Amino acid sequence: MAVLVICEKPRVAERVATALGRDAKRKMFNGVAYYEVERNGEQIYIAPTVGHVYMLKEKNGGGYPVFDVGWVPSYQVEKSAYYTRKYLETIKFLSKNAKEFVNSCDFDTEGSIIGYNIIRFACGSKEGKRMRFSTLTEEELAEAYDNRSELDYNNAYAGEARSIIDWLWGINLSRGLMSAIRKCGEYKVMSIGRVQGPTLKILSLREREIIAFIPVPFWQLFAQCRGVRFTHEKGRFFEKKEAEEAKKKTERSGTVDKVERKRFEQLPNPPFDLTSLQIEAYRWFGFSPSQTQEIAQSLYEASLISYPRTASQKLPAKLNLPRIINMLSKNPIYEKFANELIDKRRFHPREGSKDDPAHPAIFATGVMPKRGTPEAGLKVYDLIAKRFLSCFAENAVREKVHVELLLGDQRYVGDGARVLKEGWISFYKPYVKFEEIDLSGFNEGEAVEVERLEMKKDKTKPPARYTPASIVQTLEERELGTKGTRSMIIDTLYKRGYIEGRGIKVTTFGLAVCDALERHSPEILDEELTRKLEREMEWIQEGKIEESKVIESGKTVLSEILHDFKKKEHEIGSELVVALKSTNFERNFLGKCPSCGGELKIIVSKASGKRFCGCSNYPKCTQSYPIPQFGSITPLKKSCKECGLPMIFVRSGKKVFQMCIDPKCKSKEGWGKKSTTTK
């Protein structure tokens, strides 16, 4: 009898097989590749799955509320998952000759429930073993197999509780919203969930602040001396007359009244956890959080980096950090910096405060990227490798300088900073920027001459919009969602039309959904309720509470919410229908027709089902323009600089771009010669 090792993906199964034996034999069953290898006299089968091959399904019909659910093969739930059937059949076939079952899926709650479901349902066993690893390097995989432990049941139970609770909340609340709007004569695919609701509320509160914001004008005074700009000590003058008087009193000759210098050491940034990686990748490359997570996962599966879905900022010594740095020194890109660390024997990293019991911080394994690695992957890899190396480097030394000038009886101030010793900064370039303003040439008592004196008018700004990266960070800070699901929640809000744009704007419909729920069912948006459920699922992992108690508690709360929701369906639906019609008009109206002055809008042909831009005065006006058939289209409310026709914003999957609706516009002359998408 053999040992059956279950891997989360085919690519990982191949790596595990190679790690367990160079003589691994690749075999086929039902179109699925699996591997046979002998290790220490033991016959081992390594078989892949493809993520979640079991899904939750209600046991009795549709409608809502629904509370009776169970696990069934994914292909019985969704047609698009039919391909998973052959993987399940392969595992069932191999399990007949197996005496031991090993879960080798990713070591997190999701991987734990994926493997646990396969072992108990497909293999028919209540017991199994667990491989624990953070990289897919051969050495670590072999060690994980040789030191496999008992199944991590608590992780699996926590994963199951999360799956059931999220499914029940998502299905019931989403069906409730759709039922409410359907009863008022409209139809729209809608969703809301345990974390989605509080997230929408956070974004809506910011949107309301921006909408309600009234800009206030103010004036500032600036004096330029020796090429450096100094600001009047008052900062903002909210009365123009007061600013003008201060300007009149400002003399063109003055003295340096005060200079304060402070040298300090700037510590390196800690190594990446998933959230900080998502923030940096968005900042430098414009990658959305979900895009970064997907890229990082592919780098992990190629053995280039450690497991990315981690909350840790720790690099424990057991990782053999000197060995990793030595491996990176073989890469010409990192050779100089790695060798500097080796020569100075700097093998103790600067770490952050965050920890994760399952995985260390994200680090480059030292394995060299192969030719053909996508450009996006190389960018994220470079960011991770340089961040990792910079953690071991010396502190940077910087100097802050505060200078105050007396120009008559008016005081002007300036703050500057400069780098005296780069230290870790040189390791992390170009992913670090400090504003360098050199005030080192100013000394107390010196005379100064004003080269330029100006008074500028400005106005106060509304709160900044969230970006996909900053809202993920906010969710982490508020303990909402998990490190692996937060980016998916943001993507869902985009897909449902609740939010739009890179600087996130909550749509009219998104605001209406939030307002209706806030008035009629505020518990759906309650952060504390969501946090409570998150804490209880963590207690399952720690063995402090039983899975069944958490699930029953979640059902009880949900049942009470749904009971009240059903009573108010018509009121909720009425509010949503009004907003939906308004949103549809906003989304479909592109601008004025250049032929007749009518309204250009997005129209779907009844005959072909294709969409195009047409005039509201049809059939009197037949002006029309082709538009992309796939993805969401948002009017930009601005005209093309080349031809004056409306511009649109297109989001198709992970591709986003702006375009003019005129196919013959000069702005499109280069299309087809190079990519027009901006990721």
Evaluate whether 309 touches 484 at the Cβ level (below 8 Å).
Answer: yes
Query: Over 70: is that where the pLDDT of 676 sits?
Result: no
| pLDDT band, residue 674 (cuts 50/70/90) | very low
> Could you check whether the bond before residue 270 is cis, i.e. omega within 30 degrees of 0?
no
Domain-embedded: residue 544:
yes
Q: How high is the pLDDT of residue 678?
A: 38
Do 260 and 329 reside in the same domain of the chain?
no
Do residues 455 and 220 touch, judged by C-beta distance below 8 A?
yes
**Residue 504: pLDDT over 70:** yes
Taking CA 576 as the corner, what is the angle to CA 571 and CA 205, rounded to the nearest 5 degrees? 105
Are residue 167 and residue 147 in the same domain, yes or no?
A: no
Positions marked active-site: 307
What string of DSSP letters covers 125-151?
Answer: -S--EE---SS--HHHHHHHHHT-EE-
Res 654: pLDDT: 64
Of 415-419, 473-477, 644-648, the one with minimum mean pLDDT is 644-648
pLDDT of residue 75: 96
Name the token pair of 532.
């409570």
Cα separation, 588 vs 603, in Å, equals 8
| 204 and 353 assigned to the same domain | no
pLDDT > 90 fraction of the chain, expressed in percent and rounded: 81
Tell whether 59 is covered by a domain: yes
Residues 294-326: tens digit of each pLDDT: 999 999 999 999 999 999 999 999 999 999 999
* ω into 48 cis (within 30 of 0): no
**CATH number where 405 lies:** 2.70.20.10
Res. 608 pLDDT band, cuts 50 70 90: confident
What is the number of domains present in the chain? 5
Helix axes 375-390, 321-328, angle to 10 degrees: 130
> 493 and 632: one domain?
no
Task: For residues 207 and 221, state if they share a domain.
Answer: no
DSSP string, 251-320: EEEEEEEEEEEEEEEEPPPPPB-HHHHHHHHHHHH---HHHHHHHHHHHHHTTSB--SS-------GGG-
Q: What is the dihedral of CA 499, 502, 505, 511, to 10 degrees?
A: 20
Whether 56 is in a domain gets the answer: yes
**236 and 382 housed in the same domain:** no
* Average pLDDT over every residue of 322-346: 97
CATH label of the domain that carries residue 547: 1.10.460.10
pLDDT tens column, 181-195: 999 988 888 999 999
Residue 653 pLDDT exceeds 80: no
Check whether residue 453 and residue 475 sit in a common domain. Answer: no
Question: CA-CA distance, 212 to 121, in Å (whole number)?
Answer: 55
Residue 667: pLDDT above 50?
Answer: yes
pLDDT at residue 163, rounded to an integer: 96
Domain span at 647: 592-668
Query: Which tens digits make up the pLDDT trace of 45-101?
Result: 999 999 999 999 998 877 789 999 999 999 999 999 999 999 999 999 999 999 999
Structure tokens at 58: 């209600």
Task: Give 225's pLDDT tier (boundaries 50, 70, 90).
Answer: very high
Tell me, yes or no, whether 48 and 141 share the same domain: yes
In this structure, what CATH number is given to the domain that contains residue 33? 3.40.50.140
Q: Do 200 and 313 belong to one domain? A: no
- With 90 as the cut, is the pLDDT of residue 236 above it? yes
Nearest to 451 by CA among 238, 156, 222: 222
Which of 390, 421, 446 marks a domain boundary? 390
Contact between 171 and 67 (Cβ < 8 Å): no
Question: Is the same domain home to 207 and 234?
Answer: no
Whether the Cβ atoms of residue 245 and residue 405 lie closer than 8 Å to each other: no
Quote the CA–CA distance of 650 and 414 in Å, as a whole number: 44
Average pLDDT, the chain: 93
Residues 297 and 375 in one domain: yes
- Any idea which residue has 């897919």 for tokens? 136
- Cα distances from 354 to residues 310, 530, 631, in angstroms, run 10, 22, 38
Of 385-394, 486-495, 571-580, 643-652, give the lowest mean pLDDT range.
Answer: 643-652
Domain boundary among 151, 171, 199: 151
Query: Per the domain annotation, does 526 fall within a domain?
Result: yes
Quick check: 5 and 131 in contact, CB under 8 A? yes
The pLDDT of residue 238 is 98
Last residue of a domain, one of 390, 425, 450: 390
Q: How far apart are CA 73 and CA 50, in angstroms?
A: 12
Residue 499 lies in a domain: yes
The pair phi, psi for residue 335, each rounded to 5°, is -55, -50
Please say if the pLDDT value at position 102 is more than 70: yes
Average pLDDT over residues 13-36: 95
Chain segment 454-490, per-residue pLDDT in tens: 999 999 999 999 999 999 999 999 999 999 899 999 9
Q: CATH number of the domain that 299 lies in?
A: 1.10.290.10
Q: What is the pLDDT of residues 69-78, one digit of tens each?
A: 999 999 999 9
User: Distances in Å between the alpha carbon of 182 and those of 58, 325, 441?
Assistant: 22, 60, 71
Alpha-carbon gap, residue 226 to 221, rounded angstroms: 17
Distance CA 219, CA 237 (A): 5
- pLDDT-derived band at 673 (thresholds 50, 70, 90) equals low
- What secondary structure letter does DSSP report for 671? B
Q: CB-side exposure of 247: number of CA atoms within 13 Å?
A: 18
Do 374 and 412 lie in a common domain? no
User: Is 584 inside a domain boundary?
Assistant: no
Report the pLDDT value the prediction gives residue 672, as an integer from 0 to 100: 59
In a domain, 585, yes or no: no
Q: In this structure, how many other beta carbons lie within 10 angstroms of the beta carbon of residue 520?
A: 17
Query: DSSP per residue over 291-303, as a string?
Result: HHHHHHHHHHHTT
Asked if residue 395 belongs to a domain, the reply is: no
**Region 504-526 average pLDDT:** 94
